[in-house]
């Protein structure tokens, strides 16, 4: 896909005219990252904005108090952006961002992005809307991690994935490629064994169907009623 076409598909830029998108695409550079490579690291300095053209990016933090356990904050997909926090507040990177697949990323430098925000308030508003959604998701995550029981923790990760990468059809949500169990464990703040046991318990109750790396939430509304926060 051509750079301008791609930028048009990015929700925060969807209102921009072609000439502005063309200018933005000229100022950005494209970089490829192979699977598992670190795109940016927690605590380093940085000021660029990253937009995923293709691939998948894991946003995580390492909890040093807990055997260097990784906590996955989010998994981002094409057209999603990251790196806006350091760009905006000038502080160190708040999390580590790792390519989960071979990924292509568009990198926009701070000054170019700030100029865009100044000239196009609609981009600023769209950015604020996206950040508000992330704040809501982070609030849900805090609540989910503080839950005592495994079912609640695992269910809230499934609800987060349904929101991020699920496809809904006739009340059924299908998650085509469920993250690996150790990744689900890091998202839920629990162990891989608990993930396995709880997913099978959900399947036994008829709440989900598992088929290879595919997971279906059989009745999404009911599942939300049971486990939504």
Residues that bind ligand CMP (CB under 6 A): 40, 59, 73-74, 82-86, 93-95, 97, 134, 138
CB of 76 to ligand CMP, least distance (A): 7
CB-nearer residue toward ligand CMP: 67 or 89: 89
- Phi, psi angles (nearest 5°) of residue 148: -85, -40
Is residue 105 within 8 A of residue 33, CB to CB? The reply is: yes
Cβ atoms within 10 Å of 147's Cβ, excluding its own? 17
User: Cβ contacts of residue 105 below 8 Å, gap of 6+?
Assistant: 30, 31, 32, 33, 39, 50, 51, 52, 53, 55, 57
CB of 224 to ligand CMP, least distance (A): 21
CB of 5 to ligand CMP, least distance (A): 24
CB of 153 to ligand CMP, least distance (A): 17
Is residue 99 within 8 A of residue 57, CB to CB? The reply is: yes
Tokens representing 218 are 């059989």
CB of 34 to ligand CMP, least distance (A): 20
- How far is residue 130 from each of residues 123, 126, 181, 189, 190, measured CA to CA in Å? 11, 6, 28, 25, 28
CB-nearer residue toward ligand CMP: 82 or 220: 82
CB of 77 to ligand CMP, least distance (A): 12
CB-nearer residue toward ligand CMP: 107 or 201: 107
- Phi, psi angles (nearest 5°) of residue 110: -50, -55
CB-nearer residue toward ligand CMP: 58 or 216: 58
Residue holding tokens 């997971």? 215
CB-nearer residue toward ligand CMP: 138 or 168: 138
Is residue 202 within 8 A of residue 215, CB to CB? The reply is: no
SS3 label, residue 125: helix
CB-nearer residue toward ligand CMP: 71 or 172: 71
């Amino acid at each position: 896909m051509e750079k301008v076409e791609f930028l048009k598909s990015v929700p925060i830029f969807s209102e921009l005219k072609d000439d502005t998108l063309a200018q933005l695409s000229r100022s950005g550079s494209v970089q490829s990252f192979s699977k598992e490579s670190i795109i940016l690291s927690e605590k380093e300095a940085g000021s660029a904005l990253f937009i995923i053209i293709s691939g998948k990016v894991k946003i995580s933090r390492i909890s040093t108090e807990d055997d260097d356990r990784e906590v996955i904050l989010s998994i981002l997909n094409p057209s999603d952006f990251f790196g806006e926090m350091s760009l905006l507040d000038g502080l160190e990177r708040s999390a580590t961002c790792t390519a989960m697949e071979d990924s292509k990323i568009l990198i926009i430098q701070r000054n170019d992005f700030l100029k865009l925000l100044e000239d196009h308030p609609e981009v600023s508003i769209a950015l604020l809307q996206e950040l508000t959604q992330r704040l809501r998701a982070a609030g849900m995550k805090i609540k989910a991690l503080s839950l005592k029981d495994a079912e609640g923790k695992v269910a809230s990760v499934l609800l987060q994935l349904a929101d991020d990468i699920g496809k809904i059809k006739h009340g059924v949500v299908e998650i085509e490629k469920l993250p690996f169990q150790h990744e689900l464990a890091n998202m839920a703040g629990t162990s891989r064994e608990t993930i396995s046991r709880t997913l099978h318990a959900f399947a036994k109750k008829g709440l989900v169907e598992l088929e290879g790396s595919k997971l279906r939430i059989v009745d999404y509304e009911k599942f939300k009623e049971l486990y939504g926060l």
